[in-house]
Structure 1
Amino acid sequence: MKVLVTGYTGQLGHDVVQYGVKLGLNMVGIGSKDLDITNQSKVLDYVKKINPEAIIHCAAYTAVDKAEDNKDMCWEVNVEGTKNLALAAKDINAKFIYISTDYVFNGEGETPFKEKDKPNPVGYYGLTKYEGEKLVKQLLNKWFIVRISWVFGINGNNFVKTMLRLAESQTELNVVGDQIGSPTYTFDLAHLLIDMVQSEKYGTYHCSNEGFCSWAEFAKEIFSQANVGVKVNPISTEEYPTRVVRPKNSRMSKQKLVENGFTPLSNWQDAVKRYLRELINTEVK
């Protein structure tokens, strides 16, 4: 099976390609330097030339705060780019996986959002990702929409790496304690996406590691497992103001994964343990 993966230079795209290659699939990973996804004619030509059986679209403009000031660029990448790739997939009758986000929801309440719940994004980034979802549904028949949250992987920056870096110079940190969600280890997610793309169980899915935690609890677990003596002080969202209001409720129900026979990801604490091991092995190399 030949699979085209956008966003190869990012955390998720990198792991998807690595795992696909390991399974013997013909993986073609591309970054923004390889193809400008906002250029429709170039996308159509490129995809037709590669002629994959599936496209896993991991590329996105994900700078949540900057999106409010760079709306044109955010729209071009997340909406127009997705539209161009979806049209190309339609042209060659390829399967299409679109990576979306918990930010399509308003982040209110305490109940996990279900796959069928109506999105209601409060920030521009979330809005563009939701527009991308709508286009994928509108243009294609063979589609998967996969919403993820709190991503961490070996290839790029993330919360785990930030915490470990801050721990080098600080013994106490204030971390938000009233935003609840699920971390997502890209290594685990990549396995699921490759399983998914080889199936025909189309639809919208929520995919993250099992269990819920706050950012403060996430930080405490990182330091505990890394044997780093840093004190974590949970603070409120209001005490850590950002350009865009972060969702207090990023819990997502993964019921549809189970219903369709996919194996849920391991619990997030186990994912942190394996990720820290991967970080050490990478540094040793």
Structure 2
Amino acid sequence: MKPILITGGSGQVGTELARHRWPDGWEAVALTRADLDLTDAAAIAAKVAERDWAAIISAGAYTAVDKAESDVVTAWQVNALAPAALAAAAKDKGIPIVHVSTDYVFPGDREGAWEVDDPVAPLGVYGASKLGGELAVRTSGARHAIVRTAWVVSAHGNNFVKTMLRVGADRPTLRVVADQHGSPTSAADLAAALAAIAVRLAEDESAPTGTYHFSNAGPTDWHGFAEEIFRQSAARGGPSPAVEPITTADYPTPARRPANSLLSHRAIERDYGIHPQPWQSALGDILDELLGAPQKENKA
């Protein structure tokens, strides 16, 4: 078997990487916090040294965006120093590393999809710490792919889809921000992309390296996302409250959010032939798991 070390095993992406159907001969080893402390560089080095890993997928992260504003040291330990330790160990063992990053490295201050080489300028601690992780991996000397993503959702853990369904079941009307734009990302679809990149990097030393973007295809905003969640939910017999648009100013948070999180897929399509499906169909896959398939209408 060719084992792949995966951090963040209890998160949305790590869960989907563990569930992913890997090619024959490959083994996903998804490590949780209990298995590996990402604030302990020595433990990270020891874990990488203990097996002949084929590759590393660095999916573990400190994702509490608002809490990071006051928990700066931990955010930097997990989001910057842990990837640094993983990439250094990957370099020493001569194996590739695939590192998951975020749209929060961009300021979100213009229209259009962000390209992989656009200037970065994080708005807060979370984005800055994730950018630190990128820089650590990029300068480590390890063969690598950095994959930025945004708005990750799934049938697992805490995310926007599950929150909307939970709150929507109790309230007739919800108010959702309509001036932050982006594309939702299915954790399962992201996991499939990460797995494809990791396997290719491990098998082919000439495989492309660098920075990539992955989200599902098509633009929306949080309000539009919520409306589609409830439209598809209603077809499955789930909650379908009304959704009113509000502005970011109406819902202040400790951390500033990028107003535009749209990510260009040009690089990942060119180098890896990965073409994300529309976010609406990816959402349907998630709701099928949470609520079941859409109910068929009775025909007279």
Q: What is the aligned partner in structure 2 of residue 62 from structure 1?
A: 63
Q: What is the one-letter code of the residue matched to 1:211? A: G
Q: What is the aligned partner in structure 2 of residue 234 from structure 1?
A: 245
Q: What is the one-letter code of the residue matched to 1:246? A: R
The secondary structure found in structure 2 opposite 1:41 is helix
Q: What is the CA distance between 1:76 and its match in structure 2?
A: 1.0
Query: Among the aligned pairs, what percent are the same residue?
Result: 40
Q: What is the aligned partner in structure 2 of residue 225 from structure 1?
A: 232
The secondary structure found in structure 2 opposite 1:139 is coil
Partners of 1:145 and 1:242 lie apart in 2 by: 28
Q: What is the one-letter code of the residue matched to 1:205? A: Y
Superposed structure 1 runs of 4+ greater than 4 Å apart: 20-24
Partners of 2:215 and 2:24 lie apart in 1 by: 22
Q: What is the CA distance between 1:73 and its match in structure 2?
A: 0.8
- Note the residue ranges of structure 2 that are not aligned, 5 or more in a row: 201-206, 293-300
* CA displacement, residues 75-104 of structure 1 (integer Å, 9 cap, x when unaligned): 111111111111111111111011000000
- State TM-score, norm by structure 2: 0.91
Q: What is the aligned partner in structure 2 of residue 142 from structure 1?
A: 143
Partners of 2:272 and 2:71 lie apart in 1 by: 40
* CA displacement, residues 30-59 of structure 1 (integer Å, 9 cap, x when unaligned): 011111122222211111112211000000
Q: What is the CA distance between 1:118 and its match in structure 2?
A: 1.7
Partners of 1:98 and 1:261 lie apart in 2 by: 16
Partners of 1:175 and 1:279 lie apart in 2 by: 21
Partners of 1:23 and 1:164 lie apart in 2 by: 37
How do 1:76-155 and structure 2 match up within 5 A? 76-155=77-156
- Note the residue ranges of structure 1 that are not aligned, 5 or more in a row: none
Q: What is the one-letter code of the residue matched to 2:79? A: N
Kept in 2, the 8 Å contact 1:115–1:256? The answer is yes
How do 1:147-226 and structure 2 match up within 5 A? 147-199=148-200, 200-226=207-233
Q: What is the CA distance between 1:29 and its match in structure 2?
A: 0.9
Alpha carbons of structure 1 residues 215 and 23: separation in structure 2 relative to 1, 3 Å: farther
Q: What is the one-letter code of the residue matched to 2:55? A: A
Partners of 1:190 and 1:79 lie apart in 2 by: 21
* CA displacement, residues 160-202 of structure 1 (integer Å, 9 cap, x when unaligned): 0000001111010100001000000011111111111122221
Q: What is the aligned partner in structure 1 of residue 296 from structure 2?
A: none
Partners of 1:163 and 1:22 lie apart in 2 by: 35
Q: What is the one-letter code of the residue matched to 2:155? A: I
Alpha carbons of structure 1 residues 261 and 88: separation in structure 2 relative to 1, 3 Å: closer
Kept in 2, the 8 Å contact 1:37–1:85? The answer is no
Q: What is the CA distance between 1:2 and its match in structure 2?
A: 1.6
Q: What is the aligned partner in structure 2 of residue 264 from structure 1?
A: 275
Partners of 1:59 and 1:150 lie apart in 2 by: 16
Partners of 1:187 and 1:217 lie apart in 2 by: 21
Partners of 2:74 and 2:291 lie apart in 1 by: 36
Partners of 2:141 and 2:185 lie apart in 1 by: 27
Kept in 2, the 8 Å contact 1:54–1:96? The answer is yes
Moved more, 18-27 or 183-192: 18-27
Q: What is the CA distance between 1:23 and its match in structure 2?
A: 5.0
The secondary structure found in structure 2 opposite 1:99 is strand
Partners of 1:38 and 1:108 lie apart in 2 by: 32
Partners of 1:40 and 1:251 lie apart in 2 by: 33
Partners of 1:146 and 1:158 lie apart in 2 by: 20
Alpha carbons of structure 1 residues 178 and 130: separation in structure 2 relative to 1, 3 Å: same
Q: What is the aligned partner in structure 2 of residue 43 from structure 1?
A: 44
Matched residue count: 282
Q: What is the one-letter code of the residue matched to 1:202? A: T
